[in-house]
């Protein structure tokens, strides 16, 4: 078994290395210089569009996927206060349903308009694709682009979410990106953190901020090959288990990603985009990166808790809703 695993890693590393090599030879720097040496003014009319920006945005990460399931009209009539993007995989039917029936229930927050969207790619198993399609026809809360859904493609899922908000919901005020095994204390998120009656923030980004560096141990879930990311530090980034930002940032990140080389760790990647944009994420201790045993009073103080199963999600939600009158 271990030899099989290391073979797989080796293969991944080789693939990335060849991808990097390919990108480095296909970048248009040299041909651009070639053009510059031609006496352009006399002979050719230079198109107005021929700029460094175009060259830069053309190559690294075009994200040229198409939506195969979309909800383009979800935002048309009302601009939501908060859009929640939930990264999920095909088989997590129960987890999606648990979220719909608990904290993701769009109808439980009074006149504060919430939108819940589940993000998926395409599965290699077409039966699962069809099941998700049917689920989408019932609930209309699923968005799918045609990239292969895999752990290594999580970053594409996040970029798709940013693209969706920027394209179909640009008037939203705030966006949260989270996972399907996260419990979200919506009261704290809405009323303590985002405060609907205050002036909307811009270029705002918050979550559980991690100041760290790449893990070079191949056995780690967060392994980062040196040739993909040579620096010894990452820019500050928010744990992908849950981060919240003002909706203007969605478009900024999407556009920045088009000329930022992909990394498979989506939260690190978003951190890299934020650094380019000169946006600094705020630390907020309400976002919990780790699991936390349930207690009513403890969960009343948090914004997110990680590693919650669908059954726990229901239990926690029912307990918290039925004990609203209890004081801690």
Placement of tokens 């760290």 in the chain:
212
Structure tokens given for 80: 């939501």
Position 40 contacts ligand NAG (CB under 6 A): no
User: How far apart (Å, rounded) are the C-alpha atoms in residues 118 and 131?
Assistant: 14
Work out whether 49 is an interface residue with ligand NAG (CB under 6 A). Answer: yes
150 binds ligand NAG (CB under 6 A): yes
| Contact map string, positions 151 to 180, toward ligand NAG, x by CB under 6 A | -xx---------------------------
Sign, CA torsion 57/58/62/66: positive
Q: Could you give the CA distance from residue 159 to residue 269 in angstroms, rounded to a whole number?
A: 10
Q: Which is nearer to ligand NAG, 152 or 202 (CB)?
A: 152
> Within positions 59 to 78, which residues make up the interface with ligand NAG, using CB under 6 A?
none
- Which CB, 194 or 265, lies closer to ligand NAG? 265
57 binds ligand NAG (CB under 6 A): no
Q: Pick the closer one to ligand NAG by CB: 150 or 173.
A: 150
What totals of helices (H) and strands (E) does the chain contain, helices first? 11, 10
Is 147 an interacting residue with respect to ligand NAG (CB under 6 A)? yes
In whole angstroms, how close is the CB of 159 to ligand NAG at the nearest point? Answer: 12
Structure tokens at 311: 């059954």
Q: What is the smallest separation between the CB atom of 267 and ligand NAG, expressed in angstroms?
A: 17
Give the H/E segment covering residue 87. strand 82-87
Piece in contact with ligand NAG (CB under 6 A), picked from 96-104, 146-154, 235-243, 294-302? 146-154
Asked whether 125 and 34 are in contact (CB, 8 A), the reply is no
Contact of 319 with 296, CB cutoff 8 Å: yes
Give residues in contact with ligand NAG (CB under 6 A): 47, 49, 147-148, 150, 152-153
């Amino acid at each position: 078994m271990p030899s099989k695993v290391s073979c797989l890693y080796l293969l991944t590393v080789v693939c990335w290395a060849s991808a990097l090599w390919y990108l480095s030879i296909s970048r248009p720097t040299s041909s651009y210089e070639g053009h510059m040496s031609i006496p352009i003014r006399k002979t050719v009319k230079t198109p107005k569009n021929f700029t460094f920006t175009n060259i830069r945005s053309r190559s690294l990460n075009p994200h040229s996927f198409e939506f195969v399931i979309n909800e383009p009209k979800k935002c048309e009539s009302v601009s939501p206060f908060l859009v929640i993007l939930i990264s999920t995989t095909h088989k997590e039917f129960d987890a999606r349903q648990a979220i719909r029936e608990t904290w993701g229930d769009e109808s439980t927050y009074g006149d504060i308009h919430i939108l819940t969207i589940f993000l998926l790619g395409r599965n290699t198993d077409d039966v699962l694709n069809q099941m998700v399609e049917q689920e989408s026809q019932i609930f209309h809360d699923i968005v799918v682009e045609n990239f292969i859904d895999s752990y290594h493609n999580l970053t594409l899922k996040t970029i798709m979410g940013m693209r969706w908000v920027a394209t179909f919901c640009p008037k939203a005020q705030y966006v949260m990106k989270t996972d399907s095994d996260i419990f979200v204390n919506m009261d704290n998120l809405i009323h303590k953190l985002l405060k609907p009656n205050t002036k909307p923030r811009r270029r705002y980004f918050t979550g559980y901020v991690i100041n760290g560096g790449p893990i070079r141990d191949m056995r780690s879930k967060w392994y980062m090959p040196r040739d993909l990311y040579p620096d010894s530090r990452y820019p500050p980034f928010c744990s992908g288990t849950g981060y919240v930002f003002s909706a203007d940032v969605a478009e900024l990140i999407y556009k920045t990603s088009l000329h930022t080389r992909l990394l498979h760790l989506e939260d690190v990647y978003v951190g890299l985009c934020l650094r380019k944009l000169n946006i600094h994420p705020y630390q907020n201790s309400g976002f919990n990166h780790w699991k936390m045993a349930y207690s009513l009073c403890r969960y009343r103080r948090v914004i997110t808790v990680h590693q919650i199963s669908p059954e726990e999600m229901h239990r926690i939600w029912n307990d918290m809703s039925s004990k609203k009158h209890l004081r801690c």
